[in-house]
Amino acid sequence: MEDPEIAGAAPPPGLSSLLPPREFLRSRKGQLLLAESVLSFIIFICYIASLAASFMMAPLLEFLLALFLFFAYASKLNEKFKGVHWPLADFLRCVTAAIIYFAISIAAVSKYNDGASKAAGVFGFAATIVFAIDFYITFNDLVTFLKQGSSSSPEGHKTE
């Protein structure tokens, strides 16, 4: 019996159908969203184990948002739902996440003395950098997205 991947047939449905495609995992956006999800989850766990448990809500929300966008981009929901301005929503998510992670990381490192708070702060600074890289890249995509929209509008072709 031949291996279905070698024969060119589709693999049987199962848990592998829930995994994102490999080309998305190898893309820059896929790797950034995966890093954001993993870092947010680690920070969430660190805040749960620390004295700074009041900060745990921000990493939890960022983890869920990053996970949602990861699967939305992997399943190409951004191409199916054109009414949502995906680059703008992603840009706003990354900007707010970078600012919030920076603020709570400073507070966790300076105010609390336990090891879990310090670890959450250090991972928070790493997450700030990852989110900042993502919003820089997303900003460039947003600019090209908005330029395409303005060049096709009739106001862009008017002459005086």
Q: What is the pLDDT of residues 111-153, one digit of tens each?
A: 999 999 999 999 999 999 999 999 999 898 888 877 887 665 4
44 within domain boundaries: yes
Instruction: List the one residue out of 78, 86, 92 whose CA is nearest residue 146.
Output: 86
Q: Which domain holds residue 48?
A: 26-148
CB 138 within 8 A of CB 94: yes
CB 142 within 8 A of CB 91: yes
Contacting residues for 69 by C-beta, under 8 A, at least 6 apart: 33, 90, 93
Band of pLDDT at residue 157, cut at 50, 70 and 90: very low
12 within domain boundaries: no
Q: What is the enclosing helix (H) or strand (E) of 90?
A: helix 86-111
pLDDT tens, residue by residue, 74-107: 888 878 888 878 888 889 999 999 999 999 999 9
5 within domain boundaries: no
7 within domain boundaries: no
127 within domain boundaries: yes
Number of folded domains in the chain? Answer: 1
